[in-house]
Amino acid sequence: MKKVLFVCLGNICRSPVAEGIFWHQVRNSFLDQSFSADSAGTAGYHIGERPHTTSTSVAHSYGVKLEHRSRQFSREDFNKFDVIICMDHSNLANVLREAVTPEEKSKVYLMCQWENGITPSDVKLAGEVPDPYYGGIDGFHHVHNLLETCNKNLISWLTSSKP
């Protein structure tokens, strides 16, 4: 069982959608016995809240259900998860700042390292999942589509390698 944690800032727009799509894709591939997923925010602004209503309705329009309630990332997550995948470079820097050991640091990735293929690209050159929070509905659709692409490659990588 490989355990994956998705991380953004508020844990109401991007990472709960990343988690929902991950579950959706592993269930559709009959891989749900092999994986588990969760999400968290580096900030505690929205602890206990359901995902953003626009994230939820856009996800529903693609057949993806969001079941999460917001929680904050904590150091314990380094023990609980095999892979920690951040949505943008700021989230990545904040999570890496909490990492103490080389093993903890080695678990941390950026989602867009899987934007263009199965093998993770150079983290420094990877793009970001943009924060849709302050924009219109198009941004939420863009985020959803980007997360579908990245998750598809991520799941292939997790299936074929040993992170």
In whole angstroms, how far apart are CA 71 and each of 5, 41, 123?
12, 6, 25
Count of residues engaged in binding ligand 4NP, rule: CB under 6 A: 11
Q: Single out the segment in contact with ligand 4NP by CB under 6 A; choices: 3-11, 59-67, 107-115, 153-161.
A: 3-11
Neighbours of 124 (CB within 10 A): 7
Told to judge if 14 belongs to the known catalytic residues of this protein, a careful annotator would answer yes
Continuous segment of H or E residues that includes residue 147: helix 137-160
Select 62 or 133, whichever has its Cβ closest to ligand 4NP: 133
Q: Which of 9, 108, 111, 155 binds ligand 4NP (CB under 6 A)?
A: 9
Q: Which of 14, 38, 77, 112 is catalytic?
A: 14
Q: Single out the segment in contact with ligand 4NP by CB under 6 A; choices: 7-15, 22-30, 105-113, 153-161.
A: 7-15
Select 2 or 50, whichever has its Cβ closest to ligand 4NP: 50
Residues 6+ apart with CB under 8 A from 60: none
Q: What is the dihedral of CA 23, 29, 35, 41, to 10 degrees?
A: -30
Verify binding: residue 128, ligand 4NP, rule CB under 6 A. Answer: no
Neighbours of 47 (CB within 10 A): 13
Q: Single out the segment in contact with ligand 4NP by CB under 6 A; choices: 4-12, 26-34, 56-64, 116-124.
A: 4-12
Residues 40/78, Cβ–Cβ less than 8 Å: no
List strand residue ranges (DSSP E) for the chain, in order: 2-8, 35-41, 83-86, 108-110
Told to judge if 131 belongs to the known catalytic residues of this protein, a careful annotator would answer yes
Select 97 or 162, whichever has its Cβ closest to ligand 4NP: 97
Q: Which of 38, 77, 131, 150 is catalytic?
A: 131
Is residue 97 classed exposed, middle or buried when 0-12, 13-18 and 19+ CB atoms within 10 A define those classes? Answer: exposed
Select 53 or 160, whichever has its Cβ closest to ligand 4NP: 53
Catalytic residues: 8, 14, 131
For ligand 4NP, the binding residues (CB under 6 A) are 8-14, 41, 45, 131, 133
